[in-house]
């Protein structure tokens, strides 16, 4: 059954509020801990998550020009600057106060907005070992976005691999090697993340 726009907005708002609650509960050491976003601590990742709410289109365009048109350089620079300028409570509040903000990434609409929040939320909670489980409805929406194009965009090297969820009826690919993990871990792999090794 296809998810309506209204239902998508409800899921996005809930995800932002839940992640804000997670951020509010972190210790100072956790705010400085590394995430699955290479080179970013929790502070930078949280700052990046709310950039779309805090920066108008014109300011974003100016930042992109200053970065020589390089989107990755621009987002890295802004995330680091905002992480230094904003207190943890302000970074958490930026998510909570903008739960219903209409921002979406340049492509992908509401589904991409949900993916942006969910994936970056996992970038934070997984290495911290918080055990947060993304609700099944949100996982199912995002698992439907896993395509060869998604893998290429996020540089996910899954050649010859079949992904098979252990907690949902979902699989992707026809490779000879099967990777069986919980659905949210497979989602991270499809979005180009390298998961920490189990202890």
The full set of domain ranges for the chain reads: 5-145, 146-193
pLDDT of residue 197: 67
DSSP 67: T
Distance in angstroms (rounded) separating the CA atoms of residues 186 and 171:
9
pLDDT of residue 134: 97
Residues lower than pLDDT 50 in the chain: none
Q: Three-state SS for 68?
A: coil
pTM of the model as a whole:
0.93
pLDDT of residue 38: 86
* Cα separations in angstroms, 196 against 12, 35, 42, 125: 26, 10, 16, 12
Tens-digit pLDDT profile for residues 60-93: 888 888 888 888 899 999 999 999 999 999 999 9
pLDDT of residue 173: 94
pLDDT of residue 198: 58
Contacts of 55 (CB under 8 A, 6+ apart): 63, 78
Domain 5-145 class in CATH:
mainly alpha
Distance in angstroms (rounded) separating the CA atoms of residues 71 and 97:
26
- What percent of the chain has pLDDT above 70? 98
């Amino acid at each position: 059954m296809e998810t309506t726009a209204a239902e998508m907005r409800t899921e996005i708002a809930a995800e932002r509020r839940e992640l804000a609650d997670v951020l509010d509960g972190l210790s100072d050491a956790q705010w400085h801990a590394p995430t699955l976003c290479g080179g970013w601590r929790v502070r930078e990742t949280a700052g990046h998550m709310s950039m779309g709410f805090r920066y108008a289109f014109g300011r974003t365009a100016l930042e992109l020009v200053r970065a020589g048109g390089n989107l990755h350089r621009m987002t890295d620079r802004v995330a680091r600057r905002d992480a230094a300028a904003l207190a943890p409570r302000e970074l958490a509040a930026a998510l909570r106060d903008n739960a219903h903000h209409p921002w979406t990434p340049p492509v992908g609409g509401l589904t991409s907005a949900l993916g942006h929040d969910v994936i970056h939320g996992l970038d934070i909670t997984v290495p911290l070992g918080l055990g947060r489980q993304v609700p099944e409805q949100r996982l199912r929406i995002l698992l439907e976005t896993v395509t060869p194009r998604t893998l290429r965009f996020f540089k996910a090297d899954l050649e010859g691999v079949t992904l098979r969820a252990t907690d949902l009826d979902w699989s992707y690919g026809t490779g000879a090697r099967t990777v069986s993990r919980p659905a949210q871990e497979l989602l991270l792999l499809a979005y180009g993340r390298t998961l920490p090794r189990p202890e």
